[in-house]
Amino acid sequence: MFTNTLYFDIPSTPKTEELWNKISAEYKSNAVGYYDLPINGEKLLLDIGTWGAGLRNIKNIVVIGVGGSSLGTKALYSMLFCEKKSDMPNLYFLENIDPVSIKKTLQNIKLDESIFLLISKSGTTLDTISIAKIVMVHFDIFPHDKYFSRRFAVITDNGSALNKFANEYGLKSFFIPKNVGGRFSVLSAAGIVPLTLCGIDTIKLLEGAAECRSNFFGRKLDTLFKKALAYTVKSGQNINILFSYSDIFRDFNAWFVQLWAESLGKKRGEERIGLTPVGLIGAIDQHSFLQLVMEGPKDKSVTFIRVENMADDMQIPDISLKYIEKVNLKRGVSAAALLNEQAVATMKSVVNEGVITDEIVLTTADAYHAGYLIYYFELLTSLCGLLLEINTYNQPGVEIGKRILLNKLGK
Amino acid sequence: MFTNTLYFDIPSTPKTEELWNKISAEYKSNAVGYYDLPINGEKLLLDIGTWGAGLRNIKNIVVIGVGGSSLGTKALYSMLFCEKKSDMPNLYFLENIDPVSIKKTLQNIKLDESIFLLISKSGTTLDTISIAKIVMVHFDIFPHDKYFSRRFAVITDNGSALNKFANEYGLKSFFIPKNVGGRFSVLSAAGIVPLTLCGIDTIKLLEGAAECRSNFFGRKLDTLFKKALAYTVKSGQNINILFSYSDIFRDFNAWFVQLWAESLGKKRGEERIGLTPVGLIGAIDQHSFLQLVMEGPKDKSVTFIRVENMADDMQIPDISLKYIEKVNLKRGVSAAALLNEQAVATMKSVVNEGVITDEIVLTTADAYHAGYLIYYFELLTSLCGLLLEINTYNQPGVEIGKRILLNKLGK
């Protein structure tokens, strides 16, 4: 079960109806393609199955991609790692043109046990292509080589430069639908291909997302409207914190940060609009950022995420250490219970300070709930974008730096 | 060499002199102990050397600690990992009461090859002590056992409950000076013990910090005053971004976030004061948060950090991939050069938007520069705290949640 409890109240206003009409219109326009990804996965899964059936002795799937081409996959892989069967391939990411981390990652990988997935929606992401070239030289394998198409595949837009490259050399191409933006693409081929190849239950993942979709468009998710309204009122909080209780959410936080910052930071005419995302991990960041939430400016909202039944739970031993008896716990408290109770206690203290707070509880962190969670945050982002009256799906601000760079280093 | 170039200007005002007087007074008062850590390391290093000489066949140093007891050590270990000799022990961290990550970490560790460092300044950090109990049961080793004191040591305040526990069972205790707060303690025993045991050059680390100290108190670091003044003006930016170009800085960012948020988020009477830290990694987050910096509200400052000469650099091969020629680079560009040029190009685009921007360049990411960097940010935090007229060194806001929790789960 997925529950989201709000510890603030926003009455149903005419704005709610207006917002519903807007998102319905956006959905029907077909301009934004992510809405239907959860119900359109069948063909893709068949395609992966057919292609994957030809792979033998693969121990590593290596994603070469950045931003929307890696963050979502990484988020789900980390969250669902406990569910992965040990005989399925491991997933690696080459996402930064950082020689130290590239070298470290390549040390773990043998060519003949690996599949490299070149992922770029546009097909011409500088870092991604540069890393791919480094990989080719490292393993001494090039597009003209006989075995190149057995080791490399691409995930991109149909007709992109990368797709043409793949066609030229006989590589398999998977496609990201044209109307699906990079940061909304994790439930398309961009995420589903690597995750399926690693043994993540992507059928359940899509089912969870489909359930969220059907609840939302069946008007059963009023919480999303209330949250979007609360976050976008002018006098309100413009820093939105995700306080996720478990290390398995570290990469999910990073995915959320991209989704939120890149979607909702936009110029609207002369005006600069934007909500600032912050990802925290509980209980660790109780010893860090929490002080600022408790006593700093009231410009923040906090969403707590926790998992009721965690994998690999263990008891906290009921032993007493001399002189440190002060922190003895009742008999039978498990690590997961302590983590959950830390979340609840911290949440209470934050609510007491009058901070806009809500709590998401997943029964378990399995593929189904992960799919639900992903889609839930995508919907929330779309709703906020509509309320802010900006284009949620583009990213014009990042082009300038790219031009400056290519002017200097490009051929 | 360590350089910090500002791309904004703040004239020298009477405030600069006032601030100098305040920090001099704070330094002389002896109430804040971190200032002198870089020049007081000798005795500690000797102590570690003597104790460490008795250790045999140690492959793992396991830090059990959270917040100020882990973040700084982790930051330096990640940054300096390339410098570590491969025959020195690896460092592990048990910092979250998360059953999934505890299990994962313990899988890598054998008892008779490991030293466990229980780190808690107060000596009664609930999560830390609970994790320690899990470790004891996992390896079936308890305080009364003959070999317990060969496997466990503590780092804490002199006279704390944990110190008394250590004395009772013959464990080695290292001390964090009383006037050094957790988040300012990385250059004390809290960080120096685990880092030295792993073969990090902590002498150079302290030398770098000492150089920064001597430059600052010799009034050669005007940049710090200008930055502090820029960040704390009322109408100014209250979100401070650290955009660090290299994956080696990921944990440094987390250390900065704690230092900044927990030090500078405080109630001043009825007023809520605070600066919000954000850690980004380049080039990855150019594909994420950057859009918000470029087009979102002007409530942010950005500090770029980059390393001129990176370890393990590699050439980006001068090969051309058919159809993807658009992103071909000039001959001879290395991965580190591309990463650095990405930083420079992005910085230019951010400066063009009128965002308060500055750039820190380290010649190399070695122990000396790391020490300088750590101390530099500690000084900046102290200066901002003085300008905001708050207590930089306490954290009253996080106690409430702890009380709620112990009421529920405590004995």
**Chain B within 8 Å of A143 (Cβ-Cβ)?**
yes
Any B CB within 8 A of A86 CB: no
**B326 φ, ψ (degrees, to nearest 5):** -50, -35
Opening angle at CA B164, ends B163 and B167, nearest 5? 90
Query: Residue B271: what pLDDT?
Result: 93
* Mean per-residue pLDDT over chain B, rounded: 95
Q: Which residue of chain A is at minimal alpha-carbon distance from B125?
A: A327
Name which of A276, A325, A327 is nearest A300 in CA terms: A276
Q: Can you name the residues that pair with A272 across neighbouring β-strands?
A: A267
- Residue B99 to residue A334, Cβ atoms within 8 A: yes
β-strand partners of A273: A266
- The predicted structure's pLDDT at residue A84: 86
Contact (CB<8Å) B295/A67: no
The complex's ipTM works out to: 0.97
CB contact under 8 A, A133 and B246: no
pLDDT at position A204 is 98
A136: closest chain B residue by CA = B317
Chain B nearest-CA residue for A93: B284
- Report CB contact under 8 Å: A96, B348: no
Name the residue type at position B162: L
Please answer yes or no on whether B294 and A264 come within 8 Å at the CB atom: no
Structure tokens at B254: 């987390």
pLDDT digits (tens, 9 = 90+) for A266-311: 999 999 999 999 999 999 999 999 999 999 999 999 999 999 999 8
The maximal CA–CA distance of chain B, rounded, in angstroms, is: 71
* Catalytic residue flag (residue B271): no
- Give per-residue pLDDT as tens, B348-361: 999 999 999 999 99
Contact at CB, A291 and B266, closer than 8 angstroms: yes
CA distances (Å), origin B279, targets A72, A144, B207, B255, B303: 19, 42, 26, 9, 10
Phi, psi torsion values for B241, nearest 5 degrees: -100, 135
- Is residue B402 part of the annotated active site? The answer reads yes
CA distances from A130 to A49, A71, A102, A136, A144 (A): 30, 19, 11, 10, 18
pLDDT of residue A405: 92
- Looking at the complex, report in whole angstroms how far the Cα of residue A19 sits from the nearest Cα belonging to chain B: 22
A272 contacts chain B (CB < 8 A): yes
* pLDDT on residue B235: 65
Closest CA to A249 of A92, A370, A348, A347: A370
DSSP lists the bridge partners of residue B5 as B359
| From B289, B336, B397, residue closest to A99, measured CB to CB | B336
pLDDT at A236: 64
pLDDT at B10 over 90: no
Closest CA–CA distance from residue A73 to any residue of chain B (Å): 15
Angle between the B367-388 and B250-264 helix axes, to the nearest 10 degrees?
20
pLDDT averaged over 10-residue windows placed end to end, chain A, 411 residues: 94 86 96 97 96 92 97 98 90 97 96 97 95 98 96 98 98 98 97 97 98 96 94 83 98 98 96 96 96 95 97 94 96 96 97 96 98 98 97 94 91 83
Please identify which residue in the block is written with the tokens 């408790």: A294
Q: Within 13 Å and on the Cβ side, how many CA atoms surround A18?
A: 9
Put simply, the answer to whether A327 touches B101 (Cβ < 8 Å) is: no
Q: State whether B348 and A401 contact (CB < 8 Å).
A: yes
pLDDT recorded at residue B85 = 85
Residues of A in contact with B249 (CB under 8 A): none
Q: Is the dihedral of CA A51, A53, A57, A58 positive or negative?
A: positive
Query: How confident is the model at residue B234, as a pLDDT?
Result: 72
CA distance A108 to chain B (A): 16
Q: Could you give the CA distance from residue B120 to residue B67 in angstroms, rounded to a whole number?
A: 9
Question: A residues 151-210 near B, CB within 8 Å?
Answer: 161-162, 164-165, 168-169, 182
Cβ-Cβ contacts under 8 Å, A338 against chain B: 97, 127, 130, 409
Return the bridge partners of A65, or none.
none
Model confidence at B172: pLDDT above 90: yes
Residue B236 has pLDDT above 80, yes or no: no
Longest dimension (CA), chain A: 71
Cis peptide upstream of residue A261 (ω within 30 degrees of 0): no
Looking only at the bridges linking them, the beta strands covering A300-309 and A356-364 are parallel
Average pLDDT over residues B34-50: 97
pTM of the model: 0.97
Check if the beta carbon of residue A210 is closer than 8 Å to that of residue A90: no
Query: What residue in A sits closest to B342 (Cα-Cα)?
Result: A405
Which SS3 state, helix, strand or coil, does residue B61 take? strand
Ramachandran angles phi, psi of A82, nearest 5°: -65, -20
| Residue B394, pLDDT above cutoff 70 | yes
Q: Is B141 an interface residue toward A (CB < 8 Å)?
A: no
- The CA distances from residue A331 to A224, A317, B402, in Å, are 39, 8, 19
Give catalytic residues of A, as residue numbers: 262, 287, 402
B290 reaches A (C-beta below 8 A): yes
pLDDT at B14 > cutoff 90:
no
Whether residues A100 and B82 touch (CB distance < 8 A) is answered with: yes
Q: Check: CB of residue A23 under 8 Å from CB of residue A32.
A: no
pLDDT of residue B210: 98
Query: What was the pLDDT predicted at B313?
Result: 95
A-facing residues of B in 303-362 (CB < 8 A) are 310-314, 316-317, 319, 321-330, 333-339, 341-342, 345-346, 348-349, 352
Q: Say if residues B385 and B379 touch (Cβ distance below 8 Å).
A: no
Q: Pairing between strand B2-6 and B356-364?
A: antiparallel
- Of A290, A298, A404, A389, the C-alpha closest to A345 is A290
Residues 63-82 of A with CB under 8 A from B: 66-68, 71, 82
- Of the candidates B97, B274, B287, which has its C-beta nearest A339's C-beta? B97
Half-sphere exposure of A42 (CA within 13 A, CB side): 2
Whole-number Å distance between alpha carbons of B313 and B318: 15
Domains and CATH numbers, chain B: 2-28+205-396 (3.40.50.10490), 32-200 (3.40.50.10490)
Phi-psi region of B295 (alpha: psi -120 to 50; beta: other; left: phi over 0): alpha
Angle between helices A42-52 and A189-197 (to 10 degrees): 40
